Amino acid sequence: MRIVLGVSAGIAAYKSCELLRLFTEAGHSVRVVPTADSLNFVGAATWAALSGQPVTATAWDDVHEVPHVRIGQQADLVMVAPATADLMARAAVGMSGDLLTAVLLTARCPVVFAPAMHTEMWEHPATRANVATLRGRGAIVLEPASGRLTGADTGPGRLPEPASLFAAALRAAARGSGGLGPDLAGRQVLISAGGTREDIDPVRFLGNRSSGRQGYALASTAASRGALVTLVAANTELPDPAGVRVIRVTSALELREQVLAEAVGADCVVMAAAVADFRPARRSEAKLKKTGAPPEPITLVENPDVLRELVASRPRPGQVIVGFGAETGDLLANGRAKLAAKGCDLLVVNQVGPGLAFGTSDNEAVVLSPDGAEVKVPRGPKEALADVVWDLVLARLNQG
């Protein structure tokens, strides 16, 4: 694949060296196109050495090759990382004063912007308007990560880590090559992932085997399809997907609070988390220890049914709600019973057991709907199942 890696003038440019290495080690041909000011952060010699290709910020070098047109025309993917507020402003109004902005005008392949800037710049109305303009034209503008910025500042505006940018870029390119594009652009989706933990004491908890991989796959695929994604993650050890806003929780009650609050603005809610059905009625403030006497029984109380609560309240007209069910025994019978009890628009059911679903990189499932339809998804990467779910969700959103 022929990739153009655009680099604008942000301190996060150093991370793009690692992104470039990931692209080249995967066998892709990468042409780095920096802005002139970005070379104050990482020099042209570094980009040329890592890419094995010439590097220039101006359209006046090798004019006979018409680089300001040819580079964009021949690309299979253009990714700008970091994308500063200035670069996105110039791209939004169609300026072409340097090689990178000219490439953006001539590219007919998927274009992905990975913003990086201070929080105040990201949240400024001008930047938000420029982002909306770029997304409206079909570009994928990832949401920045939250974390430490330059100096002592912390907040949204951090460039996502190279590995997650690499994954987002390849997914965008794959969809673009199939002519699919960012079909979830402008949609706000909320996803829960992972497994909740219910404290017994400061050391022990009741939990489950969910790794969060399926929920994270749903989040990363939605972002690569242009959606604005919020992920409520319970006790996972996975890196944040690029372009996804992550809210971390521990218990079922914490997950419920965040999901109900965030669902108000969502076009779709996908409850992929494994939420504990029960919690201890009382949490011991001190570690429980063996005394030689029989231990006191742990009394359990039911947790709220977050999925059923979402369906009952349906906080937004036309909102699509998707549930997940990990089952043993008769998959379809149990799934149909659960779908009827929950009342959601789609229910994804999968068999669990040794080597199945939990902690694996692949999954096999059936997607059920109230009209009796069954969509069987054969065993494959969890991202493949995620794309099937989004296809079904999109069909329902478009009907609305």
Same-domain check for residues 115 and 42: yes
Flag whether 183 is in a domain. Answer: no
Same-domain check for residues 251 and 172: no
Flag whether 291 is in a domain. Answer: no
Confidence of residue 361 (pLDDT cuts 50, 70, 90): confident
Integer Cα distance of 142 and 208 in angstroms: 32
Q: Which residues contact 399 (CB under 8 A, 6 or more apart)?
A: none
pLDDT, tens digit, 9 for 90 and up, residues 180-207: 668 898 899 999 999 999 999 999 999 9
Closest CA to 349 of 359, 340, 362, 339: 339
Q: Are 215 and 233 in contact (CB under 8 A)?
A: yes
Please give the positions annotated as active site. Answer: 208
Choose one of 129, 157, 177: the last residue of a domain. Answer: 177
Give yes or no for residue 300 having a pLDDT over 70: yes
Residue identified by tokens 């964009």 is: 72
**CATH code, 109:** 3.40.50.1950
pLDDT, tens digit, 9 for 90 and up, residues 97-136: 999 999 999 999 999 999 999 999 999 999 999 999 999 8
Flag whether 334 is in a domain. Answer: yes
Parent domain of 39:
2-177
Give yes or no for residue 310 having a pLDDT over 80: yes
Same-domain check for residues 135 and 261: no
Same-domain check for residues 62 and 119: yes
Q: Are 231 and 191 in contact (CB under 8 A)?
A: yes
pLDDT of residue 354: 64
Flag whether 292 is in a domain. Answer: no
Flag whether 77 is in a domain. Answer: yes
Of the chain, the end-to-end C-alpha distance in Å amounts to: 37
314 dihedral zone (left: phi>0; alpha: psi -120 to 50; beta): left
pLDDT of residue 65: 61
| Average pLDDT rounded to a whole number, residues 73-82 | 94
pLDDT above 90 coverage of the chain, percent: 70
Same-domain check for residues 376 and 247: yes
Q: Are 175 and 224 in contact (CB under 8 A)?
A: yes
Q: Are 211 and 238 in contact (CB under 8 A)?
A: yes
pLDDT of residue 359: 67
pTM: 0.84
pLDDT, tens digit, 9 for 90 and up, residues 141-173: 999 988 887 777 778 889 999 999 999 999 888
**166 CA to centre of own chain:** 12
Give yes or no for residue 244 having a pLDDT over 80: yes
Give yes or no for residue 264 having a pLDDT over 70: yes
Flag whether 289 is in a domain. Answer: no
Integer Cα distance of 393 and 397 in angstroms: 6
Strand pairing of 188-194 and 268-271? parallel
Choose one of 156, 177, 198: the last residue of a domain. Answer: 177
**CATH code, 218:** 3.40.50.10300
Give yes or no for residue 176 having a pLDDT over 90: no
Overall domain count for the chain: 2
Surface-to-core class of residue 296, CB atoms within 10 Å of its CB (0-12 exposed, 13-18 middle, 19+ buried) = exposed
Q: Are 232 and 193 in contact (CB under 8 A)?
A: yes
46 dihedral zone (left: phi>0; alpha: psi -120 to 50; beta): alpha
Flag whether 224 is in a domain. Answer: yes
Integer Cα distance of 238 and 203 in angstroms: 22
pLDDT, tens digit, 9 for 90 and up, residues 19-29: 999 999 999 99
Same-domain check for residues 194 and 170: no
Which secondary-structure segment (H or E) carries 224? helix 213-224
Same-domain check for residues 24 and 121: yes
Flag whether 290 is in a domain. Answer: no
